[in-house]
Structure 1
Amino acid sequence: MSEVVPTGINTQDSSPHRVRVLLVDDQLIIVEAIRRMFVGQPDIEFHYVTDATTAHAAAAALRPTVILQDLVMPGSDGFDVIRQYRIDAGLRAVPVIVLSAKEDPKLKAHSFAVGANDYLVKLPDPVELLARIRYHSAAYISRLERDEAFRFLRESEQKLADANVQLQKLAALDGLTGIGNRRAFDDILQREWQRGQRSNKPLSMLLCDVDCFKLYNDEFGHQAGDLCLKKVAAVLTEQLKRPADLAARYGGEEFAVVLPETDLEGALKLAEACRAHLANLALEHPVTDAGVVTISIGVASFVPASEYTPADLIASADKALYAAKAAGRNCVRQG
């Protein structure tokens, strides 16, 4: 008989936390005797197979909490069957109780050596068999519950870590434009300043201001103003080619760009590309000399050193921005 045969119990509940017994024995008289021992035990679900060659597959499908294993069966060695259980990751921890026809110390020792958990001479006393089945099943079920709890904890910790990463990303973004916010700018500038001190390579920044933005808001309204800021942010982001570069909303209509390992010449070239690209979009702004939305940009570049601070770089870029505005706006100046 190759199928897993349930006897006397409703097996629709496949919960791993129910006591589930699989008997592997070719003698139906033994099967019936064991079955009778479980009569009146509603907490125990009983199954059996009489063909040892199907025992491993049956156990894998059934997921028993304990296996009662005969040692001598036609065409099969019970020890080999136990070894098959133990090399299967899904069955490795399932308790195996050997049911042997002999009280033989050598057989008992060998049973334990190949992975059995217990050894009984058949037919065992019903009270003893039930006690051992419940004992081994309880230990196995506790292990399942512990592993499930650890798995749930790991999954929860991973979800929490992922949520924290996402939250940190969101906390570093400007809600309107979707680029970095002032907090992100401050963090990145500090980090890149420290890295520049170690590498002795230049750190540059652009400080950008949308020209006559208050007048733009007055003329077209705040919704149009918000859209204008989004387009300016897109222009700045589009010009950045390296992952380490950062465009951020510095505040109001001001934007900042951090350029690690970029000298003044490279920063000025990027600033002019940003200015020109926005002007070429030709966003209507009738109260400016150009008639379109433009930006003024101040550029500064330092090789970070102990006698300077990030605030010095910002101050230099701010001074250059002021010079760009004084020069008529829609231009780039260096600090």
Structure 2
Amino acid sequence: MNSRTRHLLPAGQSKEDYPIMVLLVDDQLMVGEAVRRLLASEPDLDFHYCSDANVAAAVAKEMKPTVILQDLVMPGTSGLELVRRYRSDPLIRNIPVIMLSTKEEAATKSEAFAAGANDYLVKLPDRLELTARIRYHSRAYLNQIQRDEAYAALRESQQALLNMNMELQRIAKLDGLTGLSNRRYFDEYLSAEWPRAAQDHEALGVLMIDVDDFKRYNDTYGHLAGDEVLKAVARTLEHHCRPSSDLIARFGGEEFVFVSAALSADGVRQLGDTLCRAVEALGLPHRASRVSPNVTISVGGALAYPAQGGTPMFLIEAADKALYQSKEAGRNRTSVIFYG
């Protein structure tokens, strides 16, 4: 009796090419030999035999039959209990089971179907009937596997497409150089935060941030070095961003914008001063700066209460005016305008 392991529907193999694999579970060797002879003339039927009820489930998991012929009455464990055991195991629960029994009572048949059997035959059945039932249930099982595999492949493809679209959406919101949110996402974010803050009667603060004398830096150290400065500044600004209530984005060129909710005017100023000190503390040399030996930033902050009216654009313009005030006052500092 062959007990080699097979795998259902290997890659490139259709159900028509896959052999029908029959596992007979019966404690009587004479029955096993009789069934083997009944099926011997069927070249595409691969017959296996197990006489021990205690290992039947393990044998089924190893060989992966397309149908199980299960004796009803077995020593130690009943055939019905074995069927229930098959149905409780996720690896073999869907394999069709044809119950074989000498009993023809309707009540016995009903118990077999209630336990999970797919069919019921009085043994020993006619060869033609037995092979017909085996082929029917095996093909139905292989069709089910093929449908499940196709559905799983479809779901996997759909999930991969969804993941790809989500990644594209994420990338579309990022600035390619600094990894911060880009201007497009900042506009979307502020447009969404404005009505939320209005509804919650919260203040909304915007800080416009500009790297001081950045053109002079590029002219002195080169644009590649300038890119590294922007990355370093971006990382520092991001370090002070609260994920639950803040957004830091690259506004364009050497300008960044910081949005923060639930701050006071003093809070906006303190945040701006903190950012100024943090960037200067990086110690990035800038010998062409008119402000400091190191790279610095200027910050313009604005605070508004959206519930009092106005638009996000007015808040941005106010922050931009405050930034101009910081530059006029000597740079490397924060100015704040209360708007609203």
TM-score of the aligned structures, taking structure 2 as reference length: 0.89
Alignment of 1:108-257 (within 5 A): 108-257=109-258
Long gaps (5+) in structure 2: 10-14
CA offset at residue 39 of structure 1? 2.4
Classify the secondary structure of the residue corresponding to 1:314: helix
Aligned equivalents of 2:119, 2:63: Cα separation in 1? 21
CA offset at residue 158 of structure 1? 2.8
CA offset at residue 330 of structure 1? 1.9
1:6 partner amino acid: N
Q: Report if aligned partners of 2:8, 2:64 keep a CA contact under 8 Å in 1.
A: no
CA offset at residue 68 of structure 1? 0.5
CA offset at residue 274 of structure 1? 1.0
2:233 partner amino acid: V
1:79 partner amino acid: L
Aligned equivalents of 2:316, 2:325: Cα separation in 1? 14
1:101 partner amino acid: T
Q: Tell me the percent identity.
A: 48
Q: Report if aligned partners of 2:210, 2:256 keep a CA contact under 8 Å in 1.
A: yes
Aligned equivalents of 1:135, 1:86: Cα separation in 2? 20
1:102–1:285 distance in 2 versus 1, CA, 3 Å = closer
Aligned to 1:26: 27
Aligned equivalents of 1:287, 1:82: Cα separation in 2? 84
Q: May I ask how many residue pairs the two structures share in their alignment?
A: 328
Aligned equivalents of 1:58, 1:280: Cα separation in 2? 70
CA offset at residue 40 of structure 1? 4.2
Aligned to 1:332: 334
1:48-83 residue CA offsets vs partner (Å, 9 max, x unmatched): 111223222222333222111111233332222222
Aligned to 1:305: 307
Aligned equivalents of 1:240, 1:83: Cα separation in 2? 58
Q: Report if aligned partners of 2:5, 2:62 keep a CA contact under 8 Å in 1.
A: no
Aligned equivalents of 1:294, 1:76: Cα separation in 2? 82
Q: Report if aligned partners of 2:202, 2:305 keep a CA contact under 8 Å in 1.
A: yes
Aligned equivalents of 1:108, 1:81: Cα separation in 2? 15
Aligned to 2:2: 6
1:242–1:115 distance in 2 versus 1, CA, 3 Å = closer
1:330–1:25 distance in 2 versus 1, CA, 3 Å = same
1:321 partner amino acid: L
Aligned equivalents of 2:209, 2:333: Cα separation in 1? 10
Aligned to 2:296: 294
Aligned equivalents of 1:254, 1:139: Cα separation in 2? 66
Q: Report if aligned partners of 2:5, 2:63 keep a CA contact under 8 Å in 1.
A: no
CA offset at residue 242 of structure 1? 4.3
Aligned equivalents of 1:78, 1:287: Cα separation in 2? 90
Aligned equivalents of 2:318, 2:85: Cα separation in 1? 74
* Aligned-residue RMSD, C-alpha: 2.0
1:223–1:319 distance in 2 versus 1, CA, 3 Å = same
Classify the secondary structure of the residue corresponding to 2:281: helix
Alignment of 1:28-43 (within 5 A): 28-43=29-44
Aligned equivalents of 1:208, 1:135: Cα separation in 2? 74
Aligned equivalents of 2:208, 2:83: Cα separation in 1? 73
Aligned equivalents of 1:42, 1:164: Cα separation in 2? 50
CA offset at residue 232 of structure 1? 1.5
1:144 partner amino acid: I
Do residues 15 (structure 1) and 8 (structure 2) align?
Answer: yes
Classify the secondary structure of the residue corresponding to 1:248: strand
Classify the secondary structure of the residue corresponding to 2:289: coil
Alignment of 1:310-325 (within 5 A): 310-325=312-327
- Answer with 63-72 or 147-156: which moved more: 147-156
1:80–1:200 distance in 2 versus 1, CA, 3 Å = same
1:55–1:182 distance in 2 versus 1, CA, 3 Å = same
CA offset at residue 36 of structure 1? 2.1
Aligned equivalents of 2:233, 2:80: Cα separation in 1? 75
1:280–1:52 distance in 2 versus 1, CA, 3 Å = closer
Classify the secondary structure of the residue corresponding to 1:6: coil
Long gaps (5+) in structure 1: none
